[in-house]
Structure 1
Amino acid sequence: MNKNITNKDTYAGIMYSMDFMYWYTYLKRRIAKGWSAEEVSFLLGRAPFYYSDFERMHNVGGALEEERMLLDRIYQDSTTESMTFHRERYEANEERLVRVNIEDERFYKDYEIIIPWALASKESYTENGKTKIRSCAVPDLTFREWKEEESLETVSDATIDIREKLNRLLKSKYFKEGRAPDEIFQVVEFTGQYHLQIFPRHLKDGLYNLIKAGLLYIRNVDGRYVIFEI
């Protein structure tokens, strides 16, 4: 009898409450897109492990300072997950420990986020001289990330679609001045076909095939990878 083996992972990091709000927002956005952390690293023009380090809360404040604007552009969304932190008057705004527990199953990952702040479900406000109460959104700190499994047919269709688009871009001298991965992805992402979705990994594979063919090359520009034509 086969038993499912659950891999458990836990990690923690120090951050301010506002940094947690952004960190949580970007985690939920990535999961909603069905992208891996490595795919987001690719879109940022960074090394494969870069975004995984951010999600594992290594230097969250510093990473947010560098990447927030680009992440909002990549996700085409600058809103944040709504949350209201309750703080007593005597409490200072200081960095605190956030912990994440993950149970990694075959088809999904279950997340549990443990935070040191109290989140308000209601808050008071004044309107026309009267004090009123309204509800506040409370983020879900336990949730599931499903693992995407593509069929061979889907991968084949995506590969053909990307290859055709990249060849057209090459012919138009699109890469002559250099292009960042997120720029290229915005150009090739739309397929117009309901059954076909292009993921960053499809673009990455397509670009690397052209690099191996000697048609493109990668240059490090200010710490980010940029794609140029030969």
Structure 2
Amino acid sequence: MEPKVTSYAGLLDQSGFKQWYKYQKLRAAHRYDAEDVSFLMSKPSFYFRDYEMMETGAKLTCEDDAVLSEIFCGQYVEILDFDKDDFGIFEKRIIRIRRTESLTTIDYLVSTPWRLNGKSKAAKFKIQQEKGVIMSREEEADLLQQVSFILDKLSSAGFFRCGRAGLEIYQEVEARVRWSPCLRPRYVKQVLYQQLSAGRLYLKANHGQLRFQEAQLNPIRNSTGNVPVYSL
């Protein structure tokens, strides 16, 4: 398989770039993809991807920053010490990224217009993300079955009676599968959306987050006015 190469670019100032670089490094270290992070943030699947791709208008709020700090808790990223920029540190400059995907890794070459202190050339950074463990269909089906069993047990215990964020749910599942190296947020999300389709859960927007909540059955009367039926 030939490596798949894609390139993109966007505008960031120094502060914005330092934040972007930090979360790119942390995401790669956890071997999460952008949709995994969006799920853990309790956001739509495109949310973190747009930020990562530096789409116009895509930026993180203070609340997002707090959630991401919890997602990547305890992880350290080096502090970037850029030299003075003649245009000013708050001036947005173009950042270019070259992404190369192979069977086992995804490599990012990030080109910036700034120099690190003590360096004579504009800084370039390399970020490498190892792909997760490749499973057979049988292994993947077994993992999804485990996740489904765990979510059913949590639901029976009333876990979803109040809305639950993606990170809360993932942490509960992660603890119960004994920190499996194969587990990723996408598998938990897949099972949750199966339960949404089955009408067992529903999504509720709460303070800018999408939360999974138990679907309540409400009794209503049928056309005879005597026998109760139920609707969601």
Per the TM superposition, whether the score is higher than 0.5 is yes
Q: Give 3-state SS (helix, strand or coil) of 1:160's partner.
A: helix
Partner of 2:172: 187
Partner of 1:202: 187
Select 2:145's aligned residue among 160, 169, 172: 160
The alpha-carbon deviation at position 189 of structure 1 amounts to: 1.2
Q: Give 3-state SS (helix, strand or coil) of 1:227's partner.
A: strand
Distance 1:45 1:102 in 2: 26
Partner of 1:8: 5
Partner of 2:34: 37
Partner of 1:141: 125
Instruction: Name the CA shift for 1:33/1:108 in 2 (closer, same or farther; >3 Å).
Output: same
1:40-92 CA distance string (max 9 Å, x none): 1111222222211111112577325451111111122475432211116x652
Amino acid at match of 1:141: F
Select 2:113's aligned residue among 100, 111, 116: 116
Distance 1:121 1:154 in 2: 50
- What's the TM-score once normalised by structure 1's chain length? 0.79
How many pairs does the alignment contain? 210
Instruction: Name the CA shift for 1:109/1:197 in 2 (closer, same or farther; >3 Å).
Output: closer
Amino acid at match of 1:180: A
1:83 aligns with 2:83: no
Select 2:160's aligned residue among 175, 178, 182: 175
Instruction: Name the CA shift for 1:66/1:194 in 2 (closer, same or farther; >3 Å).
Output: closer
Unmatched tracts of structure 2, length 5 or more: 216-232
Unmatched tracts of structure 1, length 5 or more: 123-138
The alpha-carbon deviation at position 39 of structure 1 amounts to: 1.2
The percent of aligned pairs where both chains have the same amino acid is: 29
1:68 aligns with 2:53: no
1:164-223 CA distance string (max 9 Å, x none): 221121111111111111111121112464655421011111212222222111122233
Q: Give 3-state SS (helix, strand or coil) of 2:60's partner.
A: helix
Distance 1:109 1:78 in 2: 20
Q: Is the 2:162–2:213 contact (alpha carbons within 8 Å) kept by the matching residues of 1?
A: yes
1:92 aligns with 2:88: yes
Q: Give 3-state SS (helix, strand or coil) of 1:150's partner.
A: coil
Let me know the Cα RMSD of the aligned residues. Answer: 2.6
The alpha-carbon deviation at position 10 of structure 1 amounts to: 1.3
Instruction: Name the CA shift for 1:36/1:161 in 2 (closer, same or farther; >3 Å).
Output: same
